[in-house]
Amino acid sequence: MAEPTDSGQKAGGISRIGLVALVVGAIIVAAAVGYRALGEGEADQDAIIADGGPASIEQLKAAAEKDPLNAGAWQELGFAYYETGQFSEAVRAYRQAVEGDDKNAVLWSSLGEARLMASETNPMPSAAITAFEKAIALDPTDARARYFLAVRKDLSGDHQGAINDWLALLKDTPPGAPWEQNLRQTIEQVGKINNIATDTQLAAADSARPKAPQLTAGNAIPGPSREQIAAAGAMAPGEQREMAEGMVGSLAAKLRANPANPDGWVMLMRSRMTLGQPDQAAQALKDAIAANPGEAERLTREAAALGVPN
């Protein structure tokens, strides 16, 4: 999720940290990262993932163009364009995605964010607002649309109203969600810039939030060693992705062996979304519910918060 650096500046500035660090954070429910952030600096196009295997943007484009109404294929292409900073191309891809599935709130909010990032002059173009409002109409819990509609309030001068909306979003944010830290920083920054005290409000929001899953000997998923994390820092983007995929694959294997672990399934969904694998995240949700029908409501709620497609 992008965040404004001041109340009158374009929402942008996605936090960029190493891919392995993001996946590690997703697996151990400890990272606070930018919304769907991947890689450090420019992404490696040949490392974009589609359907579980490596594919270049040209391959993703060819696959999408074979079926103009395949929303999933266009979503993958839009995500790949977005992550490589090709925002105008991402707009076109997401626009085609909603042609194939115009009832999908995640696609509409993705389109809105791409439109916002593609705008070089207007910090909140009307086309982006239209897409965010469409997403909210379809799903009032859509985190991205809620975030940016609050940005709109901030840009219009309603700083306290924006902070109130962000605090409401924070209350609904599962611990460790990809946008959590950026959201918190946005609240603090906008409050500081506009002389609005936020400490008490943040504390109240935190007290109302869902609790982080408690990892025990029965459900803990071991993360990588300190040495592995240190080594990952020196890796090229493609090598980082390979290592990250290995860790996520290990997590998936552990869940196949022990599927009665709702917290683990949430970790897997978060990891899949971090890697830009929404289809596999959606499959993880289905598998999680099948294995844990009593947790279906919670799993569905957390999947929606992570942006997992229906």
Whole-prediction pTM value?
Answer: 0.57
Contact between residue 2 and residue 11 where contact means Cβ atoms under 8 Å apart: yes
The residue ranges of every structural domain in the chain are: 226-306
pLDDT score, position 288:
93
Contact between residue 42 and residue 78 where contact means Cβ atoms under 8 Å apart: no
pLDDT score, position 276:
77
CATH topology of domain 226-306: 1.25.40
| pLDDT per residue rounded down to tens, the chain (310 residues) | 443 323 333 333 223 334 444 444 444 322 222 223 222 223 333 333 433 445 688 988 999 999 999 998 898 899 888 888 899 999 999 999 999 999 999 899 999 999 988 988 888 899 999 999 999 999 998 888 998 999 999 989 999 999 999 999 999 887 767 678 788 888 998 899 889 999 999 999 988 886 655 544 444 444 444 444 444 444 454 555 666 677 777 788 888 888 888 888 888 888 888 777 888 889 999 999 999 999 999 899 888 877 888 7
pLDDT score, position 24:
45
Contact between residue 94 and residue 78 where contact means Cβ atoms under 8 Å apart: yes
pLDDT score, position 294:
92
CA–CA separation, 196 and 218 (whole Å): 44
Rg of the chain over Cα atoms, rounded to whole angstroms, equals 19
pLDDT score, position 217:
43
Residues 6+ apart with CB under 8 A from 158: none
Structure tokens at 113: 């964010």
